[in-house]
Structure 1
């Protein structure tokens, strides 16, 4: 079965998470991703545990389906090898701090002269322009600058980082979208181009409801715990033995919640709760009144009632519960493959389920430099591999 991106060749000079997540997604769809790892130690995540037979599980999570070569770009011969790879590539992606690629002689202007069809994507903390462009930027700094930390957490609490590397993943997803857009443009008569994206911009672009509140009525978003800032009840509530999520976010569901779940039909005509605006204005009172009732029965009891009333609802899982949930497993969100050093490895599955071009693991995450000779031989270059190894070029 031909994969959706078969024929696309990607040179991946990224490391850690945002860039590797992007190139993993492209590789899952069939692109030939050649991960060019820095000499001598490779991607920084190779040093992060946990380890299985000295292979980093963190590295393996976002580097499946790729080939790895170890290349010393500070050596002219190493740079020449990269130039030869560029001549046969469709996409080049890097996440150096702005200015570093130019110092190495691998910036867009240089590489576009070798391959005018090249799609070149730069991922950085703050972007290639602006007063912060030269600052080092990690996910947590992006969460701070985007304002997301200021409205994450409980009311009155300290700023809280989201539980995942939100801006890294947002940048990775934005890079996938941008590269595919540029690729389609090229396939339909356009040429190669340069893409500049940042962790900050990518995450900030996801704050759509918060921007609506600020632009629409000048409201600065603050932490709401699990509550939604525009609709209620749409949040987590304490029960007798835990917490559940209730999504009675429109008037019809609110009325069903009152009459069929908590048996408080008088709330429907209560002036504090009549409309969604009323409920938002009195959300603290509403939360307290709802929890007074829910704490008297178990989570299962209330979830059964909510399900019978066709009101969106669900549990708040610990991560081990998530990974053992029958629905998650039925959707193949946990898959297993054989790694040459680590053995049987479990990883997360493919979130998009294609009917004709499904994702698959055709290669395990590569060991460091595993495919160096294989990739270089494909270029047809007459190279003295022993000498290059001894010299520290590859």
Structure 2
């Protein structure tokens, strides 16, 4: 039996100056992959997500999940007293991730040009609403604004309905994933060149990058897409249809699946109808097609439709709410959910990482840290003296919080595929 190896990014040190979603979500990917992630927060409250409910005791439930495996160092970077300590952290870091307003780090004297002089190998990554330059750069940019300007809200919802955003903060989250991918690429390049580089990723461009079908249509024909409810832009039937007790999603778009779909639901007459002879024809006649399909599906329960179509090999699924998702038999069987220890809360249920590596499994350690839990230990390791740290704490420029070891008992890795 081969000995279990350490997570793939063990030995990489990441500084996170992040709040809310994009940078913290990116840094969580690195923490899951084994990197040491040091979350630098303001002593007065820290990341604003700490004040976001619901709460477990005094701790934010969302915070202890999106900030798992990280260490919290509470420093007021606006105080000149903290500069030497922070620069010591920069000297030993491989990566810095931040999502402050463009220009904020430069005004603190902590922009990429300044930190590159201290650590030429540093990969410095910035997430922002609109990017570091351009006409919108200095505007505040939250997820919903990025969803609005990127076109996502123009195609989400039902025809004739009010604007709707994607239910999760998709631009924030995907900006974080793009940031993590870009940093990983920059680390690979640093292996060759020996030097780091600067990375600029925006919520706006992350959202606009999703418009694969819409771009294919617009750049070919000039047609502008609009909201279609659950229907696909280019295929039919590929949407939610009525059942007797709700809705069920179906995707019978290949010739084989279309034939199996019709046979399974007693709609074989559609196979002879020229309006539905091929995928393009079905799309052009979607309204009539769905009406005909729903005349059958609305007489069957969701469970009956799913059972029949699954047996026939036709893609389909019920529409689950999150109570069903978080207790899902398949996700549970694959060990997707797990409990992370926390020094004051005990076990905290976590969403697993979708990444499964067979040889270098991901880390499963502790939940998000208490504010300032690691300030003293991290700064001592970086070369600060106990007297320096005491001075920062006494002046209010730093916060330390001794909460004990959060990592025991911990499951250290997640199984590979």
Q: Smaller-chain TM-score range?
A: over 0.9
The 5-angstrom pairing of residues 64-79 of structure 1 reads 64-79=68-83
1:326 pairs, out of 329, 332, 340, with 329
Shift of 1:144: 0.0
Shift of 1:190: 4.3
- CA distance in 1 between counterparts of 2:47 and 2:328 reads 33
Q: Deviation per CA, 1:55-114, whole angstroms, max 9, x where unpaired?
A: 101111110111000001111121221111111110011111111111111100110010
Residue 217 (structure 2) pairs with residue 210 (structure 1) = no
Tell me the residue number matched to 2:309.
306
Q: Deviation per CA, 1:368-393, whole angstroms, max 9, x where unpaired?
A: 00000000110222241322211112
- CA distance in 2 between counterparts of 1:62 and 1:196 reads 22
Residue 101 (structure 2) pairs with residue 62 (structure 1) = no
Instruction: Name the SS for the 1:168 alignment partner.
Output: helix
- CA distance in 2 between counterparts of 1:190 and 1:233 reads 52
1:164 pairs, out of 143, 168, 193, with 168
The 5-angstrom pairing of residues 244-393 of structure 1 reads 244-258=248-262, 260-384=263-387, 385-393=389-397
* TM-score after normalising by structure 1: 0.98
- CA distance in 2 between counterparts of 1:266 and 1:378 reads 74
Q: Deviation per CA, 1:252-275, whole angstroms, max 9, x where unpaired?
A: 2112211x2222222112121111
- CA distance in 2 between counterparts of 1:209 and 1:276 reads 16
Q: Which runs of 4+ in 1 moved over 6 A?
A: none
Between 49-58 and 335-344, the greater mean CA deviation after superposition: 335-344
Tell me the residue number matched to 1:140.
144
Instruction: Name the SS for the 2:276 alignment partner.
Output: coil
Residue 93 (structure 2) pairs with residue 89 (structure 1) = yes
Is this contact kept in 2: 1:20–1:62, CA < 8 A?
yes
**Backbone CA RMSD of aligned residues:** 1.1
Instruction: Name the SS for the 2:193 alignment partner.
Output: coil
Is this contact kept in 2: 1:72–1:79, CA < 8 A?
no
Shift of 1:188: 2.1
Tell me the residue number matched to 1:46.
50
- CA distance in 1 between counterparts of 2:381 and 2:137 reads 37
Q: Deviation per CA, 1:341-392, whole angstroms, max 9, x where unpaired?
A: 1222111012112112111222321100000000011022224132221111
Q: How many residues align?
A: 393
- CA distance in 2 between counterparts of 1:147 and 1:27 reads 32
Is this contact kept in 1: 2:340–2:365, CA < 8 A?
no
Unaligned runs of 5+ in 1: none
Residue 104 (structure 2) pairs with residue 100 (structure 1) = yes
Unaligned runs of 5+ in 2: 399-417
Is this contact kept in 1: 2:43–2:372, CA < 8 A?
no
Between 161-170 and 339-348, the greater mean CA deviation after superposition: 339-348
Instruction: Name the SS for the 1:272 alignment partner.
Output: helix
- CA distance in 2 between counterparts of 1:264 and 1:122 reads 54
* TM-score after normalising by structure 2: 0.92
Residue 151 (structure 2) pairs with residue 150 (structure 1) = no
Is this contact kept in 2: 1:339–1:364, CA < 8 A?
yes
